[in-house]
Amino acid sequence: MGIMEIVMILVVTLIVVGPEKLPEYARKFGRYYREFKKIASGATNEMSKALGLDEDEDLKSLTDELKSMRDDMSSLRKSLNEDADDLKEAVASEAKQMKESIDQETGEIISELKAETQEISQDVGESFQELGEHFAQEATDLKESLKEDAQQIASDLSESHREIEEGLEKEAEELHKAVEASGTEPDNSPAATSAVSNVSDSNLTLETNQDNTKPAVGPSNSTEVDNGQG
């Protein structure tokens, strides 16, 4: 057996068993080879002695045996190479399928996350829109209610003012008639002067109160409504 054949056997063994177990298998192979060679040599010697073969015949027989062993090793090497190629193809195919499966699952997960994110964003937008519409409606209702209340208050004040004026005018007229009946000039009578003064003061007070009440339906209410909307 030549050096190249031994190297080839070692390479095939390295591919099959791996670099970790190569020294162990190399030692075993060397031991088995020595034992086989020893057994083959002993068997050849015994056969030579038994058959009376000469040295040339022994050499030829040994050569034939070695050739047979070499052929067997060549067949074994070829078989190992084929098995190694098949194993490498199977591993590559499995790795490719696994990568495709992982890529597909990753794409599906990303698509689901995008869909869920879009749905959540849409729901939040709709909720904010509904909330804004609700607040706007409440602000409108509040503004209308304040406006109606202010109009009612103004109407009540106007009615009260009118009734007071009528009452004061009636009292002044009665007082004036009483003064005329007593035969005294109205302008010089202290009672008449006091009555006229009271009527004027009352009218002035009512007008002032009504002016102070009117802004309730003006810009202040609009500001409050705007603040409510804010």
Instruction: Give the Å distances, CA to CA, from 144 to 137, 181, 220, 222.
Output: 11, 55, 14, 11
At 138-154, the pLDDT tens digits run: 888 898 889 888 888 88
d(CA 39, CA 170): 156
Cα–Cα distance for residue pair 17/32, rounded to 1 Å:
17
pTM (predicted TM-score): 0.29
Spell out the domain ranges in the chain.
Answer: 3-100, 138-229
Check: CB of residue 158 under 8 Å from CB of residue 218.
no
What is the 8-class DSSP label of residue 225? Answer: H
| Contacts with 15 (C-beta within 8 Å, 6 or more apart), sequence order | 80, 84
How many CB atoms neighbour CB 216 within 10 A? 15
Residue 22, C-beta contacts closer than 8 angstroms, at least 6 positions apart: 10, 13, 14
Average confidence (pLDDT) per 10 residues, the chain, 230 residues: 69 72 74 79 70 61 82 83 81 84 89 89 85 87 88 86 86 84 55 47 48 44 40
pLDDT in tens, 191-205: 444 544 554 454 445
